[in-house]
Amino acid sequence: MTARIFLALGVAVPALAAPTRFFTLDTPNTLAGSRATGVVVRPDGGLEALPPLTPLAVFNEPLAQAMAEDGKGNIYVGTGHPARIYLISEKGTSLLGELSADQITSLLVAPDGAVYATTALPASVVRFRQGKLETVATLAQGNLWDSAFFAGKLVVAAGNPGRLLVLTEKGLELLAEIPDRHARCLVSTGKKLIVGTSGKGLILSYDGTRLGVLHDSAFTEISSVTALPNGAVAATALTGDPTMGQKPGEGQPSVTVTTSAPSPDTGRFTSEVLLVTPQGAVTTLARFEKELAFTVAWGGAQVLVGTGLEGRLLQIVEGVTVQLDTVDAGQIVKLSTSGNLVLTQEPVKVLRRGGAPQGTFTSAVLDAGQPARWGRFLATVSGPCRASFRSGNSQEVNETWSAWSSPEPCSDTLAKVPLGRFLQFKLELGPGLASVSRVQVAYRQLNVPPQIKEVKVFPPGEVYLKSPPPSERIVEVSHPDLAGIFTTLEDEKETQTQLGKKYYRVGYQTVAWKAEDANGDPLLFDVEIQRQGGDWWPVRQKLESVQLAVDTQALADGLYRFRITASDAPGNPEAPEVSTAVSSWFVVDNTPPSLSVRREGDFWVIVASDELSPIAFAEYNRDAQRWLPLAPEDGLLDSPREVFRLPVIKGKHVLSIRVVDDHHNRRVVAVEEQP
């Protein structure tokens, strides 16, 4: 048996797929979701070990919000309940004094070496100078939350109501009123004073005479602001109010923040980190669903963020958030300007980076898309670096994953792990100066059979072209509907990704299929046809398209179906995988219906019948005039046998009857009509 083939459309298959693929991690974006302990991500995508964070001092007080450095190696810490000021120096930790207040909210070292502290309740400014503590100003109403030097003077943030106050010889005087309940945090950029508020969550700018709004956050509190070298400002925003966290039974405000309600605009988010450019444009650097971003600092090449409810130190590099460190505390509440000092709460302690650089970097989970064999690990390395790996078949790392492999040198090693879809690698950098850049991991997916999702056989005669056939190559009859069908006479050479416009050609049967390969391999298809009860016969082999129109006029009438075989041999010539799928049964009918016409009295009785197909339509004409439709006796054309009754008209005529089955086979009979 042979079959003439017409290719209606297809999908182009790419060149041979590379059997080995690579994960390349060489930009901050590709490192997103990673976790580190003492490893910084550089803007160029490299990794570098930092000196570890080690405890410098531990305190018994439950609260701490304030920390400052004097540039000579001395560190000052302010605590709460009770409010105390401590000095950490090379000699150790010493208590400078205890204040009659609930807590110390800010510490600031003046150019002359004096240390200024603000308290919340009662609101006061205290100065430590030449070994002596003295109260230099008090506020009759409200609280003091932060302080900064601006235009050579000490400015403090106050609430409620929100105000900026300046310290003069007469005490605290009003500098500007704030359009919110509290002025919560301050930072001076030199020419401007940036203010974060609580209640509405505003970021304000004050130039010495005028107060302007830079941003109205969807969150209710700006908890921290810091200045960047280019004049931009980074800020943390969260839901809460500094006066809502009160010590039970005391009724006194503190800066402990509550998160009893989500942000009205961001819904599930609890905090975010914002960047305000020197021109005043505001972008969101990071948002958190559970963590609270309490404090922000500039780390020299990236924004550093300290969080709670778990104490994490995060780095934001080129808009990508990566964990830099974790601390054994509930919250990170303050970072030094450089980020090398960390003040925590729950418990209260100060950590400082020091010693030989050393850290660990753990990648995000790498997904090969399918179970894979993992291969060579390559990296550009400077200094000590060891790599280890683990794999699994669940996206979340759990007990089903393999254990970490033994650490081996990072420069060129193998990921010695079991087959698995997912992989993680861990880099141990140091001790000593160590950096890594352009990390690559090779893998090859296990080849899985392609899947044929669907096989569809279109109605008889339907073919699909992306453009109309040229007029000189149209097969056409006088009636341009289903009875006058046309299509191109040769295969459609160019392929496309979806069905084109529908045309018709008698005797053609179109089959189309949808196929996928989980490995992304290019596919080739074999098409076979089978008559019911018979053998399979090849129609086309190594077909690149996903649709074929078959000229079934070469086939005997009967029930047929197609079988499609998909192979990924182009990408896997050594061990290809195949899969097959069959279509539903369809009718091949190349025989015109039979047609009889007889006269019974004043009517012509017309009977049309077909062995396999229903009658699609019937029509008549007299004396070669236009064709008119014939209606069957039962009112519906729906069966292989239909009966029609047509009245005889007076005079001598030639009556022509034409019927067509749903495979576009036609029969025409003409009779003489006499009175």
**158 and 283 housed in the same domain:** yes
Residue 44 lies in a domain: no
Q: State what percent of residues in the chain have pLDDT above 70.
A: 88
Cα–Cα distance, 236 to 313 (Å, whole number) = 13
**93, 348 Cβ separation under 8 angstroms:** no
User: Residue 255 above 50 pLDDT?
Assistant: no
Residue 545 lies in a domain: yes
Residue 349 lies in a domain: no
Higher-confidence position of 496 and 5: 496
**297 and 259 housed in the same domain:** yes
Residue with token string 């298809």: 525
How many residues would you count in the chain? 675
User: Residue 517 above 80 pLDDT?
Assistant: yes
pTM score above 0.75? no
pLDDT band, very low/low/confident/very high, at 467 (cuts 50, 70, 90): low
The domain that holds 191 is classified in CATH as 2.120.10.30
- What is the amino acid identity at position 6? F
Phi, psi for 177 (deg, rounded to 5): -85, 145
**267 and 213 housed in the same domain:** yes
Residue 618 lies in a domain: yes
User: Residue 488 above 50 pLDDT?
Assistant: no
User: Residue 471 above 70 pLDDT?
Assistant: no
**466 and 388 housed in the same domain:** no
Q: State what percent of residues in the chain have pLDDT above 90.
A: 64
Cα–Cα distance, 301 to 584 (Å, whole number) = 64
Task: Measure the N-to-C terminal CA separation of the chain; round to a whole number of Å.
Answer: 52
Tokens of 420: 């698995």
Tokens of 537: 């016969």
pLDDT digits (tens, 9 = 90+) for 126-173: 999 988 999 999 998 899 999 999 989 999 999 889 999 999 988 899
The average pLDDT across 555-582 equals 91
User: Residue 443 above 60 pLDDT?
Assistant: yes
pLDDT band, very low/low/confident/very high, at 267 (cuts 50, 70, 90): low
Residue 113 lies in a domain: yes
Tokens of 274: 């914002």
Residue 24 lies in a domain: no
User: Residue 261 above 70 pLDDT?
Assistant: no
How many independent structural domains does the chain possess?
4
**518 and 629 housed in the same domain:** no
User: Residue 252 above 50 pLDDT?
Assistant: no
Residue 227 lies in a domain: yes
Mean pLDDT across the chain, nearest whole number? 86
**111 and 207 housed in the same domain:** yes
3-state helix, strand, coil in the chain (%, to 5): 0, 55, 45
Range of the domain at 78: 63-312
User: Residue 349 above 50 pLDDT?
Assistant: yes
**146 and 269 housed in the same domain:** yes
Phi, psi for 29 (deg, rounded to 5): -65, -40
Q: Omega of the bond prior to 160 within 30 degrees of 0, cis?
A: yes
**221 and 72 housed in the same domain:** yes
**438 and 567 housed in the same domain:** no
Residue with token string 């289903």: 482
Q: Which residues contact 279 (CB under 8 A, 6 or more apart)?
A: none
Phi, psi for 299 (deg, rounded to 5): -95, 15
Residue with token string 């969807």: 218
> What is the signed CA dihedral for 316, 317, 322, 328, rounded to 10 degrees?
-50
**456 and 423 housed in the same domain:** no
pLDDT digits (tens, 9 = 90+) for 594-633: 999 999 988 999 999 999 999 988 999 998 889 999 999 9
**245, 258 Cβ separation under 8 angstroms:** yes
Cα–Cα distance, 559 to 585 (Å, whole number) = 6
**430 and 506 housed in the same domain:** no
What is the pLDDT at residue 226?
93
**165 and 305 housed in the same domain:** yes
pLDDT digits (tens, 9 = 90+) for 86-142: 999 989 999 999 998 999 999 999 999 999 999 998 999 999 998 899 999 999 889
The average pLDDT across 188-192 equals 86
